[in-house]
Structure 1
Amino acid sequence: MTTYDVIVIGGGAAGLSGALALVRFRRSVLVIDDGTPRNAPAEGVHNFLTRDGTPPGEISAIGRQEVIGYGGEFASGTVTTARKDEDGFTVELADGTAYRGRRLLVTTGLTDVLPDVPGLAERWGKDVVHCPYCHGWEVQDQAIGVLATSPMAIHQVQLFRQLSDDVTLFLHTAPEPTEEQWEELAARGISVVQGKVEQIEVTDDRITGVRLESGKVVPRQALAIQTTMRARAGFLADLGLEATQVESNGVDVGTAVKADPMGATDVPGVFAAGNVTNPTAQVMPSAAAGLMAAGGLNFDLITEETRRAVAARSS
């Protein structure tokens, strides 16, 4: 079995960026990707300088060709387990295929868990959005609803208010705002609807309203939600590496794999970058994190190679 210097698990922005840096450093690199990127439903990637609005698939295709141009290799499949062996790691795919690498760079990203409301999943990435920086421009001046499932919705609704004069907060399962928050919402002209949301109304492939359990329908053209972001890291369990809970202002936002600024995890030889370590990172910072992790990983390999060279010279 061929042993690669590095196996990159995940072919998104972080993985491709890390792979590119490594192959340019004359490292043998295999990128394993299952073809299910988080941003697949989005029409375009935004806030990525020189590439704003480019379809996610196009950016990935360009990145893959750049990595291949320097000798990088790709394999399709889902990694189900990773194990430490004598001189590195063995990763196994769902179909039983196995690969060996001296180091691992984990860039598998995350999975968005949507609120359990009928109609949301079908419109996800279209007129159901989560990030005002990623998709706010595309829904500007529309009748926007914000579905609250936690206190974080107060922050989210104020951001979307910058983009439209017609913004409604649906309290749904979130706690009541504080007195100060009620005052702030009123001052900014943000409507608040109490009561649980039953489903999203869709007509002609567009959101037309939000139906409450009471039967009332509030007309809306777009809906912002908060997702729970879970790191795609279950395959690391055999290495003793697990995703941990991430909180923001006391609110559970999901899970992530702990890594230092250079991507090193608690398991020697395993590095991680992108959304698997930072749930809130957009494409550009994820790509930057992949580059940083590649630098840390490459120097880790050089340190090992130097130690072996010294030992060989002394023998």
Structure 2
Amino acid sequence: MTIRSNGGGHGGRQSGSGSNWMDPGAVGNGRREADVVRTITQKMQAIASVASTSDQSATTVNQNLQNQVNAMNSAGNGWAITNHLNAFNGQATGAEVWYWAGNEEARKKAAEVSAAIAKALGIVDRGAKATTSLFVHRNTNSGVNVLLIEWCFIDNANDMRRLDQNMDQAIHAVMNVLGYNTSGSIQATPQTHDQIILASPPKTSGNYVGKLEVFNELVLGTFRIAGWLVPQNGAAYLNQGYIFWMDADNPDVEIGRCKSAGIIRDDVNATYGLPSGLRFGLDGTLDIRKFAGKRVFPMLRRTNDPNGNTINGQTVDIRFPEYVLTIPKR
């Protein structure tokens, strides 16, 4: 039996220049399930380009699930792969694969896939898991054999570190189990600029961690930067949030800045053990047409200084010089 479809779970419609999923799935360690599993799916598709079941259009969870099922059924009989990440208590670990209870062929394949991932990542093999209740298993046609892969636990820092470090090896191992001969690095389908920014990993500075989620031209001549910057390990709360556009050719030179209103990001707060309702999200825009031709990169800042400076208060900066945009000449 061959793979007929492959997709990343959750997702649905995106808003805010691609920064917000209708359903991000599980969250942990500053990551969102919908982002990570789409990277996995793209890499699998680079090996076996089959029907995609990733949903980017649904506005409700039920519609998202139904859209995936419709795509699986349309692809025809065979293996339908849907990629996911688990979450529980920050300590649970391992890979597992869900299959339709009573289907012995699917049970064996699910066990093989789970074992291959666990070995490649160096995490626990939780094995094949039988189900008759998961939506995608209950609602696909009888000849569509769904393997719902939980690659690891997104809220376990060690699991995610191992996935980031060994993703290609794990994908090779899974695709070998599914009948594909693979070797070397995986050249996934190029992503759009917004997807690359959204999938970028968090960065740390001292006892603060931050993530860039949006860096683009929102409307003509107005650039937008959005993300978050939060304390961890008992660090003091710095109550002012600022966004900077920095000169990529003179990295210590500021092109412009914008004070951000405090934005509640309880998904991030939960990940880093912070109380709900704290406003560590950052979002801002700047009209920078007068700097046409300049190359800029984003920087996030938290400070106690109301003007966003470093002179009158403690300051934490996280810079993203690897992401550069040129201000267009009109």
For normalisation by structure 2, the TM-score amounts to 0.25
Indicate the structure whose relative CO is greater, using CA pairs within 8 Å and at least 6 residues apart: 1
The structure that is strand-richer by fraction is: 2
